[in-house]
Amino acid sequence: MQKLAILLLCVPVLAPASDKQAPPVAQATNNAVALSATLYDGKDAVRAQLGSDLGGYFIVVKVELTPKGPKPLVIDRDDFMLRSYNNGEKCQPYAPSQIAGRASLAVVPASSGGVGADRGGPVFGVPGLGMPQQLPGQGGSMGSTTAGVGGVEAKVDDGGSQKDDPVLAVLKARVLPEKQTTEPVSGLLYFSIEGKHKPKDLTLQYKTPQGLLTLSFR
């Protein structure tokens, strides 16, 4: 019995494996700022952050910025860019009102010579609802085109008397604030890139006063 007890004590106890993997984290630093970014991709990961999966169209990145030196760091969300090496797509962050506001940008058939959408993704939003069905892809811009048969033009629908999507308040509360600061600050950025992407294919770029920081989620 004593030998049996000794053998039982020597058997390692294995902790149950977790079904959820930790989200990918990337870090980079220079003389202006230290940046840490956590990637939340997929409906479940996005829902855990916002209480909504945003229709499955968005990737959420939580960023933490720590300014260096005595000068305030000017935080502008447009200084961030998410890129995919999988298909070359790139995207700047969306504002909360672009995702769930009353106003939306819809694409409708255009007559010849109308204002067209050259964005790499055909549909921007659902009029009056704000949530996008298809989103802009790589590059491109709004501008005059000579759209013929099958052409499109973008029109803004302000939503009229429709109420804001309830998720808008959450998006606004958790988005990375735009301000000048010498203190650490954190918040969420909302990106949309067409197609499916593995974390190792995604990089976050951030323009700083001391140059470009590139973070790879590998």
Confidence check: pLDDT of 57 > 80? yes
How confident is residue 69, by pLDDT bands cut at 50, 70 and 90? Answer: confident
Percent of the chain predicted with pLDDT > 90:
52
Which residues make Cβ contacts (< 8 Å) with residue 40, sequence separation at least 6?
23, 46, 48, 49, 59, 60, 61, 62
Please give the span between the terminal C-alpha atoms of the chain, in angstroms, as a whole number: 51
- Burial class of residue 94 (count of CB atoms within 10 Å of its CB; 0-12, 13-18, 19+): buried
pLDDT recorded at residue 208 = 95
pLDDT recorded at residue 28 = 97
Q: Please tell me which residue, 19 or 143, carries the higher pLDDT value.
A: 19
**Residue whose entry in the numeric block shows the structure tokens 């962050």:** 93
What are the structural domain ranges in the chain?
25-96+166-216, 102-157
Tokens of 108: 């409708």
Q: What is the CA radius of gyration of the chain?
A: 22
Task: Find, among 77, 119, 123, 127, the residue nearest to 102 by Cα.
Answer: 127
pLDDT recorded at residue 20 = 66
pLDDT recorded at residue 103 = 54
Are 128 and 155 contacting, i.e. CB atoms less than 8 angstroms apart? Answer: no
Q: Please tell me which residue, 202 or 127, carries the higher pLDDT value.
A: 202
Query: Domain 25-96+166-216 maps to which CATH number in 3.30.2130.30, 2.60.40.1240, 3.40.190.10, 3.10.180.10?
Result: 2.60.40.1240
Confidence check: pLDDT of 170 > 50? yes
| Mean of per-residue pLDDT scores for the chain | 75
Grouping H, G, I as helix, E, B as strand and the rest as coil, residue 51 is: coil
Task: Find, among 24, 37, 70, the residue nearest to 181 by Cα.
Answer: 70
Confidence check: pLDDT of 96 > 90? yes
pLDDT recorded at residue 211 = 94
Mean pLDDT of 41-68: 95
pTM: 0.69
